Amino acid sequence: MNRKLLLHSVVLAGSLCAVGTATAESRISGEMMANACAPCHGTYGHLENEYMPPLAGMPEQDFIEGMKAFREGTRPATIMDRVARAFSDEEIEAMAEFYAQQTDGGDNE
């Protein structure tokens, strides 16, 4: 019980800390970042039959892991390694959340 409570507080502190960092370093919205990606990945991530992947509706964790792997250089890349290095963990998470929500087929479809 104590251990569980302790763990809970650590997680809570961790998440507070993460929020604090995001607020201090970046308040850029997921949509703002996704808009900057849209010329290659489509408006709100909607893209059909192209060599770049569509990002709309991508599960959050897939996006986060993919972008972090590009950033750390553990995933082979042509251009995305250069792009991913611009983003913090919090920013990648905000983009992931935005793209995961784009499940409606898109306003531009």
Binding mask 43-82 for other proteins (x = CB under 8 A): x---x--xxx-------------------------xx--x
Query: According to the binding rule CB under 8 A, does residue 87 interact with other proteins?
Result: yes
Q: How many residues of this chain bind other proteins (CB under 8 A)?
A: 29
How many CB atoms are located within 10 Å of the residue 77 CB? 14
Closer CB to other proteins, 8 or 50, in the complex:
50
From residue 97, how far is each of 29, 54, 57, 60 by CA, in Å? 10, 15, 9, 6
Q: Contact region for other proteins (CB under 8 A) — 8-16, 24-32, 57-65, 96-104? A: 24-32
Which of 42/66 has CB closer to other proteins? 42
Q: Kindly report the backbone phi and psi dihedral angles of residue 70, in degrees, each rounded to the nearest multiple of 5, phi listed first.
A: -60, -45
DSSP calls for 10-43: HHHHHHHHHHHHHHHH----HHHHHHHHHHHH-G
Query: Which stretches of the chain bind other proteins, using CB under 8 A?
Result: 26-29, 32-33, 35-43, 47, 50-52, 78-79, 82-87, 107-108
